[in-house]
C-alpha cells in the first residue's frame, strides 16, 4: 500500500488595516520607538477595528486566500483545525464561527489552545489525520485579536508593546509524493512553567462568578509575563526542537533552505540564528511589521516568505515555535 503524506498546497493571511507605530504607543504609555525596537525589533503592529474585525472573520479572510491559492473550493475541506488564545466567545470556539462563514456546516472542527506554538500543533494534528487516511483536505488556522486585552499603561507596557492582531491559514492535502511533503512534526510541553506567561482570570475555579468587581480590581485578566524566564527557555527549546526535526530526517542545519520561527522577539530569532549558524537568507522575520501575533505569526510569516519567493519547490523549510505553557514545536517540510 502506497504511504499517504500531507503537503501544504495553499497559504493565506489577513491583518487589520489599522497600523499602530511605536510612536503611536507613546499616547498610552511612557515609551519610545528606540526603546521598543532595541528590546523587541518591532516597529509597528496591526490592531483590529471594533465592529469590523472578529477573530473568526480574520481567519475566514486568511482561509479564503489559502483556498484560492490551493485551487480548490471551500467544500473540499474535510476538517478545520483552529488555533487561538483569543476566541470571539468563551465557548463555543471560533472554529465554529468560521465554519459557518465558509458555509461548511457538517464537517468536523477542532479548537486548540497551544498559544504561540498553536499553528505548528494544529499543523501536526492535520498531518496525522491525513496520514491516517481519515481526511484528504484540512484547513489549518491561527488567528488572534490581542490588542483589546492589553494593559496599555506604564504598568503593562512590557507586554503591550509586543503583541498584535492577525490571522494566517494553510491548506493541507493528501499526497503520495515523497519528495514534496511534511517530513515530520515534533511537539513538546512543560507545565511546570505555566505561570511564567499566563492570564489568570476569568477561570472556572474561582469563587463566585468568573468576572466580578474584585477580579477586575485585582487586574488578573492582564497578561503576566516573566520575560527573562521566557527568553531563557525559548532560546534553548527553539534550538533543540529545530535540531530534533533535522536529526529525525538525517539532515543538518546546512541542508535548510529557510527557517520560519514564531515571531516572538527579534532578539530570540537572532540568538537562534547564531546558535544554528544560519546566514541571513536562511531565516525569515517579519515581527518588525506585525509584532507578535501568537498562533497567527508563523502562517503570516510563511505566506509572506512564499509571496517573496523565499520558499520554492524542493526547498527544505523548518517551522519552529515556543510559547506559554511552556510549549515548543517544529515542523520540517520538503516544499
Measured CA distances, 280 to 284, 303, 331 (Å) = 8, 18, 20
Are 229 and 193 within 8 A, CB to CB?
yes
Instruction: Read off the pLDDT of residues 2-46 as tens digits, 9 standing for 90 and up.
Output: 899 999 999 999 999 999 999 999 999 999 999 999 999 999 999
The answer to whether residues 168 and 302 touch, using CB atoms and an 8 Å cutoff, is: yes
In tens, the pLDDT along 50-59 reads 999 999 999 9
SS3 (DSSP) at 211: coil
Lowest mean pLDDT among 46-55, 173-182, 191-200, 301-310: 191-200
Going from the C-alpha of 192 to that of each of 1, 120, 231, 317, 330, the distances in angstroms are: 43, 21, 16, 31, 21
Q: What is the mean pLDDT of residues 193-199?
A: 93
* Three cell numbers written together for 27: 499616547
The span from the CA of 39 to the CA of 316, in Å, is 30
Predicted pLDDT at 23: 97
The per-residue pLDDT for 212 is: 75
Burial of 252 (0-12, 13-18, 19+ CB in 10 A): exposed
Closest CA to 6 of 168, 121, 242, 171: 171
pLDDT at 291: 98
Cis peptide, bond prior to residue 326, ω within 30 of zero: yes
* Residues paired with 200 in a beta bridge: none
| Grid coordinates of 221 | 485578566
What's the whole-number mean pLDDT along residues 176-185?
A: 97
Determine the pLDDT at residue 220. 76
- pLDDT at residue 219, as a whole number: 74
* Catalytic annotation, residues: 116, 262, 292
Give the pLDDT band (50/70/90) at residue 210: confident
Distance of CA 249 to the CA centre of its chain: 24
Would you say residue 206 has pLDDT above 90?
Answer: no
> What cell does 76 get?
473540499
Domains (range + CATH), the chain: 5-179 (3.40.47.10), 182-334 (3.40.47.10)
Furthest CA-CA distance within the chain = 63
**Number of C-beta neighbours around residue 284 at 10 A:** 22
Q: What is the pLDDT of residue 125?
A: 98
Helix (H, G, I), strand (E, B) or coil at 303: helix
Q: Could you report the per-residue pLDDT of 136-167, keeping only the tens digit for each?
A: 999 999 999 999 989 999 999 999 999 999 99
Q: Note if the pTM is more than 0.75.
A: yes
Q: Give me the sheet containing 181-189, strands edge to edge.
A: 181-189, 327-334, 316-323, 258-261
pLDDT interval class at 217 (50, 70, 90):
confident
Amino acid at each position: 500500500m502506497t504511504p499517504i503524506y500531507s503537503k501544504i498546497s495553499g497559504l493565506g493571511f489577513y491583518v487589520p488595516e489599522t497600523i499602530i507605530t511605536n510612536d503611536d504607543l507613546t499616547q498610552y504609555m511612557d515609551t519610545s520607538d528606540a526603546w521598543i525596537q532595541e528590546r523587541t525589533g518591532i516597529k509597528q503592529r496591526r490592531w483590529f477595528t471594533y465592529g469590523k474585525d472578529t477573530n473568526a472573520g480574520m481567519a475566514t479572510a486568511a482561509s479564503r486566500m489559502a483556498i484560492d491559492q490551493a485551487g480548490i473550493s471551500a467544500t473540499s475541506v474535510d476538517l478545520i483545525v483552529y488555533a487561538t488564545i483569543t476566541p470571539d466567545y468563551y465557548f463555543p470556539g471560533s472554529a465554529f464561527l468560521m465554519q459557518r462563514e465558509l458555509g461548511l456546516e457538517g464537517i468536523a472542527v477542532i479548537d486548540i489552545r497551544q498559544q504561540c506554538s498553536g499553528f505548528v500543533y494544529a499543523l501536526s494534528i492535520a498531518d496525522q489525520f491525513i496520514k491516517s487516511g481519515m481526511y484528504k483536505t484540512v484547513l489549518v488556522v491561527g488567528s488572534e485579536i490581542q490588542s483589546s486585552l492589553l494593559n496599555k499603561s506604564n504598568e503593562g507596557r512590557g507586554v503591550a508593546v509586543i503583541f498584535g492582531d492577525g490571522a494566517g491559514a494553510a491548506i493541507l492535502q493528501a499526497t503520495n509524493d515523497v519528495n514534496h511533503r511534511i517530513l515530520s512534526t515534533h511537539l513538546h510541553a512543560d507545565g511546570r512553567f505555566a505561570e511564567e506567561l499566563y492570564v489568570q482570570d476569568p477561570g472556572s475555579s474561582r469563587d463566585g462568578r468568573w468576572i466580578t468587581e474584585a477580579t477586575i480590581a485585582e487586574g488578573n485578566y492582564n497578561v503576566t509575563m516573566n520575560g527573562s524566564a521566557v527568553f531563557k527557555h525559548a532560546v534553548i527549546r527553539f534550538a533543540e526542537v529545530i535540531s530534533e526535526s533535522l536529526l529525525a530526517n538525517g539532515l543538518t542545519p546546512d541542508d535548510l533552505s529557510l527557517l520560519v520561527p514564531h515571531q516572538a522577539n527579534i532578539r530570540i530569532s537572532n540568538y537562534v540564528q547564531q546558535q544554528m549558524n544560519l546566514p541571513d537568507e536562511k531565516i525569515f522575520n517579519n515581527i518588525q511589521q506585525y509584532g507578535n501575533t501568537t498562533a497567527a505569526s508563523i502562517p503570516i510569516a510563511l505566506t509572506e516568505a512564499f509571496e517573496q519567493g523565499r520558499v520554492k519547490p524542493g526547498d527544505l523549510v523548518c517551522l519552529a515555535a515556543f510559547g506559554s505553557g511552556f510549549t515548543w514545536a517544529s515542523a520540517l517540510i520538503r516544499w
